[in-house]
Amino acid sequence: MTDDAPPGLPGEDEARRFADLLPDYLSGALPPADAAWVVAHVARHPASAQEVRWLRQMRAELRDEAAREPLQAGLEQLRARMRQAPSGAAAAQTAVRPADPGRVPGAEAGPAPAVAPRARPSRTRAGWALWFAQPAGALATLVIVAQAGWIAWRDTHPPADLAWRGAGVEALQEAPPPATVRIALRLRAGAQAETLPALLAGHPGHRLVLEAPGRWVLEVPAADAVAALQAARAHPAVLQAEAP
């Protein structure tokens, strides 16, 4: 297969690499070298830039929608259903037995054929000794005893990982993302966008966003806004850097 593509569209290998790097690029986890490649790719291909903008917008909308959901009401409904659900033993007793595969549909059930009860083999002391002397029998007995002991212990020691059932909605909600400051960047004439990822070096939480040709936005946590703004203004490719 060839890597040729019409003008304005990335080749097959380049598109594959962009797709592989995009998730980490959006989360700000790319190394500077890979981030520089993505920035250059987005600057060359408008379709890729539009995809990045769409994914960022979709993530922001989903985050806002999740924040508006009444999680407390849903959690109370889930707890009510769990309290009303029958236990495992009750569910097993009320389970419907499967139909007899040999029974003809619509035929009346006749009396069950008489079956002679099977004689239960007696377990004398010598018989039990022979049973435990067999590896398979001894192993089966140990497994049954271990399971019974575990079930009895579990009834008096609820698992620690089920403590979330009594937790409040605040403990189950994801921590809100930190406040973000957007620094608008305008490049100098003839400046190369490939040099901008140097602003991300050593800052995993910083991200570069291409909003329009020649217009970039540096997204940083609010705590880093002052230092990031100074670094952006000192960058040789940046003509102007402004923060709200």
Kindly state the helix (H) or strand (E) to which residue 157 belongs, with its residue range. Answer: none
Cβ neighbours, 10 Å, residue 33: 9
pTM recorded for the entire structure: 0.37
Whether the per-residue pLDDT at 13 is higher than 80: the answer is yes
Long-range contacts of 10-17 (CB under 8 A, 24+ apart): 10/41, 10/44, 10/45, 10/47, 10/48, 14/41
How far apart, in whole angstroms, are the C-alpha atoms of residue 27 and residue 170? 25
Domain spans of the chain, in order of start? 11-68, 169-242
Average pLDDT estimate for 38-55: 88
Tell me the longest C-alpha to C-alpha distance in the chain.
99
Task: State the pLDDT at residue 65.
Answer: 73
Give CA–CA dist 216/230, Å, rounded: 16
Please answer whether residues 167 and 78 qualify as being in contact, where contact means their C-beta atoms are separated by less than 8 angstroms. no
The single residue listed with the structure tokens 């981030």 is: 35
Residues 6+ apart with CB under 8 A from 117: none
Burial grade of 197 (CB within 10 A; 0-12, 13-18, 19 or more): buried
Q: What digits encode the pLDDT tens for the residues 137-173?
A: 556 666 666 666 666 665 555 555 555 455 555 554 5
What does the pLDDT look like over 55-109, one tens digit per residue? 888 888 877 776 776 666 667 777 777 777 765 555 555 555 555 555 555 555 5
Domain 169-242 has CATH 3.30.70: yes
Bridge partners for 208 per DSSP: 218
**C-alpha closest to that of 205 among 190, 189, 223:** 223
pLDDT, tens only, 16-29: 999 999 888 888 78
Could you tell me how many residues make up the chain? Answer: 244
Collapsing DSSP to helix, strand or coil, 54 comes out as helix
| Tokens encoding 182 | 């957007």
State the Cα–Cα distance between residues 11 and 150, nearest whole angstrom: 59
The Cα–Cα gap between 238 and 186 comes to: 6
Judged against a pLDDT cut of 70, whether residue 32 lies above it is answered with yes
**Token reading at 110:** 């006749």
